[in-house]
Amino acid sequence: MVSSRTFMGLLALAISPLLPAEELGEMWGTAAEEAKYYPVVNIPIPPEVPMRPGSFEILPDGRLAVGTRRGDIYFIEGAFENPPIPKYHLFASGQDEIFGLSWKDGAMTVTQFGEVTRISDLDGDEVADRYETLSNNWGYAEGHEFAFGSKHDPEGNIWVALGLSGSYKSNNLFRGWAVKVTPEGKMIPVCSGLRSPGGVGPNAEGAMLCIESQGPWNGSCSLKHLKPGGFLGHPASYNWYPFVPGMEAPSVEPNSPSRLQVEKKRVKELVPPVVRFPYIKMGRSISGFRLNQTGGKFGPFENQIFLGDYTLSVILRATTEQINGVWQGACYPFREGLATGIMNVEFSPEGQLIAGGFTTNRQWPVRGPEPFAIQRIDWNGVMPFEIREINIRKDGFVIHFTKPVDEVVASRTETYDVTTYTHNYAAGYGSPEVDHTTPRVSSVVPARDGLSVRIFLEGIVEGHIHDFTLVGMKAEDGTLLLHDKAYYTVNEIPKE
């Protein structure tokens, strides 16, 4: 637990002495219960290894690869065993901070702050000797100009999300843009409007997403869709359109303060966030994420997105669906109580979720106490009772569960407490939750198999987060929900 003193020191020294001091936020209080299904296993790090993990990859031979802030790449054998008996091998070193690793065709493609690099071992001694720069053609000349990279997409491209200069401005080429780098080293700008993005990756349907941090023009952290030609909300990066052949700058800038659902009608390129994560309740600085395609080895959440949070040391879960051509979806609590600030996650071939990261002593407070860690979340095969997924309908939602529900409880409308709210869309930093409504749950119909419930709602609000609390919801076998919260971001209401 980071003391309020450290946090105040941070505010005073790094940001501004005027922000109110605050705690990192309430814990969910579910860690002990979560451990019954998803125990956390620590992967030991030997004392001689300077390990500040920033990215993970699985090698074809099943080893775990880790890219670090110091610019090293370690290959770790035995990380997935029980208990882990890891052996660390230094494959490459001397790079800038690494926040993207992807292995393809016998080489590791690395996203570091300054470039995308293909690193390979030519002489077969397991130590890299060729560092091939695929592209370094974005501006990199100021602090906070982070670069986070995806895995290879099906065409072999690496997508890179470029943070703003000092996280507020765009002083250097393509800061605030997402670009993709082709296997031949061509850099293709994709979309503008990012602020301080974290991880980049696809959803199950292959749409490329990236995580965005709360801040100016961003009321909360969110998953954003890197839609080609899109504008993702922060107008500081408008200035680079003249450098993109064939792409026109939006004809207007968003007004401030306003609402996303208002501005998206004015700025036709504006792509609303796919999933918004209510601040503190669902993370404070979400970092890396990964799609679960482990074929059920990680439990009932196949094809869902798992995200790490840096400040709160938690793992979150998200689902997406496309409505009226626009991506939207929901987020759910998953696992809290990790050891450090989570920077990235990865699934092992055994279906375990690797989560790792670090804390910094000055820059940002973190709940997890360890200065750095690599951990593993294993599913022990016991089925938790969870909200598996929420999907929207034109007049309500379908809530899917991991186990059949108790028909009596599930049939009561009082079980479903739904409120809605949204955020300011404004140039100021972050946003409170605003425009609260309480739609009426008019009726609920559990499915015959008990695995889902159709709820009918009077007053779905476009542009709002729909905040679900399933009070007292029980499974057929009597167990209570492990987490009774879920948050659905309604960008569009289905027409049918």
Partner 1 sequence: MNFVSPIIFGIGLLLSAPFAGVAQPIISGLASSELDSNLKGLILLEEMNCVACHSSDAPFAIRSKKAPRLSEIGSRLNPAYIESFIRDPHGTKPGTTMPDLLHALDAAKRDEAAKAITHFLLSLKPNQFSLQPPDHVAAKEGERLFHSRGCVACHSPRDEAGEEMLRETSAPLGALAGKYSVRSLIEFLRNPHAVRPSGRMPDMRLQGRDAERIAHYLLKDTRVPGPLAYTLYRGQVWEGLDSDTVAAERAGQVRNFALESLGKIQHQTAITYEGWVNLPRPGSYTFFLEMNGGSLALNGKEIVREQPSNRRGPKELKGTAELQAGRRKIELTYFHTGREPRFSLEMEGPEFERQAIPPAMLSVSEEPIAAFEPVQVDADLAARGQIHFTKLGCANCHDDLQLESVPGPAFSSLASGRGCLSGENGPWPDLGLDVEQRNWISEVLPQVEALRLDDRQQIARTMVTFNCIGCHDRTGVGGIAPERDRYFTGTKPELGNQGRLPPTLSHVGAKLKPEWITEVLLRGGRQRDYLEANMPQYGEKNVGHLVELLGRVDTLEEVILPKVSNIRESKDAGYEMIGADGFSCIACHDYNGQKAGGAGALDLVNVTDRLRKNWFHLYMRDPQRFHATVIMPSYWPGGQSIRPNLLEGDPAQQIEALWNYLEDGPRAKKPKGLSRQSNELRVSDVAEICRGRGTAGFRGIGVGYPERLNLAFDSEEMALRLLWKGAFANVNHGSFQARGGDRVSFPPGIPFHRLESMDDSWPYKGKTDFTFPQDQGYQFLGYELDELRRPTFRYRYGEVSVEDFFEDVPEENGWAWFRRTFQFETPRAQEMFYFRASSGTKITRTPDGSFVIDQLELRIGSSHEGLVREGDPAEVLIPLTLPEGRSQLILEYRW
Footprint on this chain of partner 1 (rule: CB under 8 A)? 5, 8-9, 11-13, 17-21, 47-50, 52, 69-72, 90, 93-97, 112-115, 117-118, 122, 128-133, 136-137, 139-142, 145, 171-173, 185, 243
Residue number, 140 or 421, with CB nearest to partner 1:
140
- Closest approach, Cβ 65 to partner 1, in A, equals 17
- How far CA 157 is from CA of 97, 200, 210, 309, in Å, comes to 20, 12, 15, 26
- Closest approach, Cβ 3 to partner 1, in A, equals 11
- Closest approach, Cβ 299 to partner 1, in A, equals 35
Residue number, 4 or 438, with CB nearest to partner 1:
4
| Whether the Cβ atoms of residue 57 and residue 65 lie closer than 8 Å to each other | yes
Amino acid identity for residue 46 in this structure = P
| Selection from 69, 162, 55 nearest residue 109 by Cα | 55
Query: Which tokens go with 90?
Result: 């230094």
Residue number, 142 or 370, with CB nearest to partner 1:
142
- Closest approach, Cβ 364 to partner 1, in A, equals 14
- Closest approach, Cβ 10 to partner 1, in A, equals 10
Residue number, 1 or 141, with CB nearest to partner 1:
141
- Closest approach, Cβ 433 to partner 1, in A, equals 23
Residue number, 82 or 93, with CB nearest to partner 1:
93
- Closest approach, Cβ 140 to partner 1, in A, equals 5
- Closest approach, Cβ 457 to partner 1, in A, equals 42
State how far the Cα of 174 lies from the Cα of 244, in Å rounded to an integer.
Answer: 10
- Closest approach, Cβ 17 to partner 1, in A, equals 5
Exposure on the CB side of residue 321, measured as CA atoms within 13 A = 18
| Whether the Cβ atoms of residue 41 and residue 376 lie closer than 8 Å to each other | yes
Residue number, 5 or 495, with CB nearest to partner 1:
5
Residue number, 366 or 473, with CB nearest to partner 1:
366
Residue number, 26 or 48, with CB nearest to partner 1:
48
State how far the Cα of 449 lies from the Cα of 430, in Å rounded to an integer.
Answer: 42
Residue number, 6 or 391, with CB nearest to partner 1:
6
State how far the Cα of 345 lies from the Cα of 38, in Å rounded to an integer.
Answer: 15
- Closest approach, Cβ 339 to partner 1, in A, equals 19
Residue number, 72 or 492, with CB nearest to partner 1:
72
Residue number, 137 or 256, with CB nearest to partner 1:
137
- Closest approach, Cβ 483 to partner 1, in A, equals 35
